[in-house]
Amino acid sequence: MVKINGKLLEAEGKTLTEYLEGAGYQIPRVAVEKNGEIVPKAEYSHTVLKNGDSVEVVSFVGGG
């Protein structure tokens, strides 16, 4: 199980890109922290989620 934004999900084996796209996130509009470290967008497709990982996904919203 992977803890994503406080919820335990079955996402092991997926890359960050696969998870984010499957969950409906717009990749250019998010930042991801995995196990306490920011993951650069260039590494999303190479970063595989593992059992026990803790991930926070933050979406940016425009406004004013």
pLDDT tens digits, one per residue of 28-43: 999 999 999 999 999 9
| pLDDT range class, residue 64, cuts 50, 70, 90 | low
Q: Where are the beta strands (DSSP E) in 1-64?
A: 2-4, 7-9, 30-34, 37-39, 54-59
- Asked whether the beta carbons of 51 and 45 are under 8 A apart, the reply is no
What pLDDT sits at residue 61?
78
The answer to the question of residue 64 being in a domain is no
| Domains contained in the chain, number | 1
CATH of the domain at 54: 3.10.20.30
pLDDT tens digits, one per residue of 4-63: 999 999 999 999 999 999 999 999 999 999 999 999 999 999 999 999 999 999 998 777
The answer to the question of residue 8 being in a domain is yes
The whole-model pTM stands at 0.91
